A and B are shown apart, each in its own frame.
Chain A
Amino acid sequence: EDQVTQSPEALRLQEGESSSLNCSYTVSGLRGLFWYRQDPGKGPEFLFTLYSAGEEKEKERLKATLTKKESFLHITAPKPEDSATYLCAVQAAGGRMNRDDKIIFGKGTRLHILP
């Protein structure tokens, strides 16, 4: 069964304390892995897409990496404004046609950065 698991569920860090969020997946065929940030009462905001193992993407204090089993979102020297829920989503191949693909979201990691 296709599955996406994020850890930890919640993480509290001091401002400037770097850390990593994990997204592990078990899918029949990976078409793409997406990271989103969601603030309370808002919709998810797209951050990165990763397609193949070894790929890395960076944006400001965030860096996303991908292996064949998991993805990491590294946060370097975070600031209080980085506090949010970070969601990982996987597009899993459902068949020969794109319309059979599935989008599976993980439950998210709630990140809180203390000033």
Chain B
Amino acid sequence: DTEVTQTPKHLVMGMTNKKSLKCEQHMGHRAMYWYKQKAKKPPELMFVYSYEKLSINESVPSRFSPECPNSSLLNLHLHALQPEDSALYLCASSTGLLNQPQHFGDGTRLSIL
């Protein structure tokens, strides 16, 4: 069982819907990440939060909006997505210290109709 919990596991939404993905960790980690992964491709970094502050935004379209309410929670708000946004969305966390590995959740499988 992973120590990073993501909900929901699956999400189907229309292009005009607004939804949110949630991620939670209780390992005391201070860095949290959102990745997008397409089939048979490696994860692509979207956002990094360090000590609850957004530190990296990899030129992600504004229809994706991250939020870090506290050190244990990370949200990804979705609005007006496109069919090409269908993918597995992975959340990860790390201690925030240099060179420490990231621990991933099992992701949310997102399908845009």
- Chain A interface (Cβ < 8 Å from any Cβ of B): 31-32, 34, 36, 41-46, 49, 51, 87, 91, 98-99, 103, 105-108, 110
Contact = CB atoms under 8 A, between A and B. Distances in A.
B108 to A, nearest CB: 10
A31 B100 CA distance: 10
Given A41-B88, A46-B102, A105-B43, 20 more contacts: A31-B99, A32-B101, A34-B101, A34-B102, A41-B109, A42-B106, A42-B107, A43-B6, A46-B104, A49-B100, A51-B99, A87-B42, A87-B43, A91-B99, A98-B98, A99-B48, A99-B56, A105-B42, A106-B42, A110-B40
A107 B99 contact: no
A43 B50 contact: no
Interface residues of B, number: 26
A36 B102 CA distance: 10
Query: DSSP class of A's interface residues: helix, strand, loop or mixed?
Result: strand
A45 B4 CA distance: 11
